[in-house]
Every structure is written in C-alpha cells, then in structure tokens.
Structure 1
Amino acid sequence: MLVYNTTYNIDEEVLSNFLIWLHEVYVPEVEKNGILVKPRLLRVLSHRDENTECFSLQWEVESSALLHRWHLEIGGKLNNELLKMFGNKVVGFPTLLEVME
C-alpha cells in the first residue's frame, strides 16, 4: 500500500476558504473514481510561520501506476482549479510514501 501525501502551505488570509474548498470540492471530486481512498487531513505543527499554516492531506493508493492514471484523469484538472482560485496563497508539494508495517 502507498500513501499519497500533499503538504500545503496556506496563507492565513485564504485559510478558511481553502479548507471549505478542500472539504466541499476537492475531497468529494477525488473520491468519485475510487483510485485514492481514505483521506486524512492533518495539521503540520513543526513548520509554522507567522502568516501561514501547513496541512497534510493523505490518501491511500494501491500502486504508482494507479496514481499516475489519477493524475492524468483528475489531478491535473484539480490542481489547475486550485491555482486559479488561490494563486500563490496556497502552495502544495506531493510525496509518495510506502507503508512498511
């Protein structure tokens, strides 16, 4: 099993709108096709800046091939929507992790 993690650094000025968008648009849209499952949203405590907050959104995915398919079919579109709505006030970087135990 793999974990697809995206860590977001969010400007406090758009934080509440970003969290609403994440819960009402992003997560439901990702869940529709069933490739990424079991979403978990975590607050990152170790990287706090004065005017930003960090969150980690994690999903389980069976394989890197399925994740690649998800990026081609859905991920790119959602990333473009994120950029259009929040610009540089929300910056995310993905990490693919392997569950060892």
Structure 2
Amino acid sequence: MLIYNTTYHVEINDARNFVIWLNECYIPEAEKTGELHNPRILRILSHKEQESECFSLQWEVEDSAVLHSWHTKCGARLNEEMLKIFKDKVIGFPTLMEVIK
C-alpha cells in the first residue's frame, strides 16, 4: 500500500475556498476512477506563516502503476483546473510514500 500525498501552500485569503474546492470538486472527481481511496485533508501546523496556510491531501493507492494511470486519466486535468481557478495562489508538490506498518 502506498500513500500519495500532495502538500499545498495556499495564500491565506484563498485557504477557505481552496479547502471547499478540494472537498466539493477535486476529491469527488479524483474518486470517480476508483484508483485512489480514503482521501483526507490535513492542515499542516509545523510550517505556519502569517500570509499562508499549508494543507496535505492524502490518498491510499495500490501501487505506482495505478497512480500513474490515475494521473494520466484524471490528475493532470484536475491540476490544470486548479491552476485556472487559483493561479499562483496555490503551490503543490507531491510525495509518494510506502506504508511500512
């Protein structure tokens, strides 16, 4: 089992709308393929800055081939949509992690 994590750095004025968009648009669309499971959004407390907030969106995924398939079918399109809506007010970077225990 792998965890696909994306950490987002969001300007403070857009943070609330960004979380709403993740919940109402991004997550439902991402789940449609059936390849990513058990999403959760977390607020990152250790990197708090005055003008921004950081969030983590985590998914469970079977393996890297399934993740690649999802990214090709859905993920790239969702990232483009996010850029259209939030422009440079949201920056994200992905991390793929393996569950050991």
TM-score tier by shorter-chain length is over 0.9
- The Cα of 1:15 is off from its aligned counterpart by 1.1
| Post-superposition CA distance 1:53-92 (Å, at most 9, x none) | 0010000000100000111100000000000000110100
- Alignment TM-score, normalising by the size of structure 2: 0.98
Q: Unpaired runs of 5+ in structure 1?
A: none
User: Is 2:89 aligned against 1:89?
Assistant: yes
Match of 1:54? 54
- The Cα of 1:13 is off from its aligned counterpart by 1.1
Tell me the percent identity: 58
Indicate the RMSD between aligned Cα atoms, in angstroms.
0.6
Match of 1:78? 78
Match of 1:66? 66
Secondary structure in structure 1 of the residue aligned to 2:71: helix
Match of 1:44? 44
**For residue 29 of structure 1, what is the amino acid of its counterpart?**
E
- The Cα of 1:24 is off from its aligned counterpart by 0.5
Partners of 1:39 and 1:19 in 2: CA distance: 13
Match of 1:25? 25
Secondary structure in structure 2 of the residue aligned to 1:100: coil
Match of 1:5? 5
Q: After the TM superposition, which parts of structure 1 deviate over 4 Å for at least 4 consecutive aligned residues?
A: none
Partners of 2:34 and 2:69 in 1: CA distance: 12
Secondary structure in structure 2 of the residue aligned to 1:19: helix
Q: Unpaired runs of 5+ in structure 2?
A: none
Partners of 2:59 and 2:20 in 1: CA distance: 18
